[in-house]
Homo-oligomer: A and B are copies of this chain.
Amino acid sequence: MRKEKERCEAALRRALEGATVALVSSGDPGVYGMAGLAIELAAARGWDVAIEIVPGISAAQAAAARLGAPLALDYACISLSDLLVPWETIRARLAAVAAVDLVVALYNPRSMRRVAQLEEAVAIFRKHRPGSTPVGVATAVGTEDEHISLTDLEHVLEHDVNMRTVVLIGNSTSRHMGRWFVTPRGYGIEGGMK
């Protein structure tokens, strides 16, 4: 965390000196990224720096594109990291989202020291959705370490998950469709898998 602040501050200082500076985040700098930190720091320091934010592809979207179309309908992004948000708050969000049948993308599902959160999240979703609910596990999407698994709620905990993973849990309409994971938009396509 300290490093993120320092990187932001260094970039802003260079910009104040007149340089054109790019501060690079992986994914979308506006989603669990550094865009807000840069704005906050500039405001807190009283630095009048012109800031432009360039959106990017967030991990959930990159994962979704590899998996099919899991996020085609209403969905939520929730980080399981309790470093900056109390676990009670995160748990309440998981329960609320699970109860109203939203697809969910779980960011930061597990770290070296933090392993119980994903288990608890899966248990919460199991109260509302069957074990056969499609789940995508996508790690380091777009890098040479990329690894994508298509599984379900019952088996997701058997898969390797780390801080570079995003876990996508389908809703009651989501389906495996061949090698794909799709949340149908309800167009009423006739016929089924042939």
Residue contact B65 to A53, C-beta cutoff 8 Å: yes
Number of interface residues of A (CB under 8 A): 69
CB neighbours (8 Å) of A77 from chain B are 74-76
Within 8 A of B (CB), among A152-194: 177-178, 180, 182-187, 189-194
Residue contact B65 to A55, C-beta cutoff 8 Å: yes
Q: Which of A16-24, A33-41, A111-119 contacts B (4 or more CB under 8 A)?
A: A33-41
CB neighbours (8 Å) of A75 from chain B are 31, 76-77
New contact pairs (7) apart from A44-B193, A55-B62, A73-B85, CB-CB < 8 Å: A37-B185, A39-B69, A41-B189, A85-B186, A93-B101, A93-B102, A97-B100
Contact sample, A vs B, 11 pairs, CB 8 Å cutoff = A30-B72, A36-B182, A39-B180, A43-B180, A58-B61, A73-B85, A74-B76, A74-B93, A75-B76, A84-B187, A96-B96
> Contact residues of A with B, CB < 8 Å?
1, 4-5, 28-33, 35-37, 39-41, 43-46, 53-58, 61-62, 64-66, 68-79, 84-85, 89-90, 92-93, 96-97, 99-102, 177-178, 180, 182-187, 189-194
